[in-house]
Amino acid sequence: MADKLLEIKNLKQHFNVGKANEVKAVDDISFDIYRGETLGLVGESGCGKSTTGRSIIRLYDATSGDVFFEGENVHGKKSKKDLKKFNRKMQMIFQDPYASLNPRMKVMDIIAEGIDIHGLAKNAADRKKMVFDLLETVGLNKEHANRYPHEFSGGQRQRLGIARALAVDPDFIIADEPISALDVSIQAQVVNLLKELQEEKGLTYLFIAHDLSMVKYISDRIGVMYFGKLVELAPAEDLYNNPMHPYTQSLLSAIPLPDPNYERNRVRKSYDPATHNYTEADNVQMREITPGHFVQCSEKEFESLKAASAVR
């Protein structure tokens, strides 16, 4: 687990810089992603989780900060050739399987687009075989290659999106809410597929979602974002059993569980950022409370959290 695949350092992504309506979508966040793990990223809409994913893969040019992929800076100036090499290693699966596939292209060409760009196929027959293999990997069959996206159901389309991401044999995949547009019964199919592929190919995932129960199921570690900042980062079990940041606690208390008796007794906590009473001198930053469990807090809060977790 110690092998860092990706290091994100002080990443900032601000929009409309210098204007009255400047938005700090991602505001100075740092974290590492280890090889072979799944890092879940949760938070409410508008908290910057998708922007974080998009900045990492350079769909946006970051305002400041660095992203190191296998030790190489992704956001440094790079030639087209270097970028292409990097693009091959990092791929993305999008939220909406209806909007992310070109309706005028056949499945064969959608999946092979990356193969063509990177020149991975030796000849037409090889290209065809690669697409057929990919379709099989994601649980579709080769007859599907000659169809158009509209001929598929939502779950099948998401499988196509996964096949397309896998086509260039990446190491790292950013999955931006890959299941939230799907039905419950289909969600489980897609999540199982993602897990299987991870085991087979040793993939690393950044899994962005707001469905916390699914995130917990698929992730090794989870980061919680609130208004552009990472407020807590911890191993999945740890985060659920012992959430330390008040926002995480309120988020967890809001998830409805399929258990009527639990629901009757659920007490929802609400979060008010004003209760922290931070001042300039507080030096609010991510601090490690227990090994691997980071919380955004002031020095005073750090001491009390540390004392509280020592009792546990």
Partner 1 sequence: MEKILQVKDLELSFNTFGGEVKAIRGVNFDLYKGETLAIVGESGSGKSVTTKSIMRLLPENSAEFKNGEILFGGRDLTKLSDKEMQKIRGKDISMIFQDPMTSLNPTMPIGRQITEPILKHQKISKAEAKKVAIDLLRLVGMPKPELRMKQYPHQFSGGQRQRIVIAISLACNPQILIADEPTTALDVTIQAQILELMKDLQKKIDTSIIFITHDLGVVANVADRVAVMYGGKIVEIGTVDEIFYNPQHPYTWGLLSSMPSLDTSDAKLYAIPGTPPDLLAPPKGDAFALRSEYALQIDMEQNPPFFKVSDTHYAATWLLHPDAPQVEPPATVVERMKKFPGSRYYEGGAVYNGR
Q: How far is CA 206 from CA 87, 92, 173, 272, in A?
A: 16, 9, 6, 28
The minimum distance between CB 245 and partner 1, in angstroms, equals 14
**Using rule CB under 8 A, residue 185 touches partner 1:** yes
CB of 60 closer than 8 Å to CB of 241: no
Please give the size of the binding site for partner 1, defined by CB under 8 A.
Answer: 40
Residue that is written with structure tokens 């990492």 in the block:
56
Q: Which is nearer to partner 1, 67 or 208 (CB)?
A: 208
Least Å distance between CB 44 and partner 1? 4
Binding-site member from 240, 286, 290, 309 for partner 1 (CB under 8 A): 240
Q: How far is the CB of 52 from partner 1 (least distance, A)?
A: 17
Q: Which is nearer to partner 1, 65 or 139 (CB)?
A: 139
Q: Is 150 in the site for partner 1 (CB under 8 A)?
A: no
What is the residue-wise DSSP string for 98-119? TTSS-TTS-HHHHHHHHHHHTT
Task: Round the CA-based radius of gyration of the chain to a whole number and report it.
Answer: 21
Distance of CA 29 to the CA centre of its chain: 14
Q: How far is the CB of 277 from partner 1 (least distance, A)?
A: 22
Asked if 213 is part of the footprint of partner 1 (rule: CB under 8 A), the reply reads: yes
Binding site for partner 1 (CB under 8 A): 44-45, 153-156, 183-189, 191-192, 195, 210, 212-214, 216-217, 240, 250-251, 254-264, 266, 268, 270-271
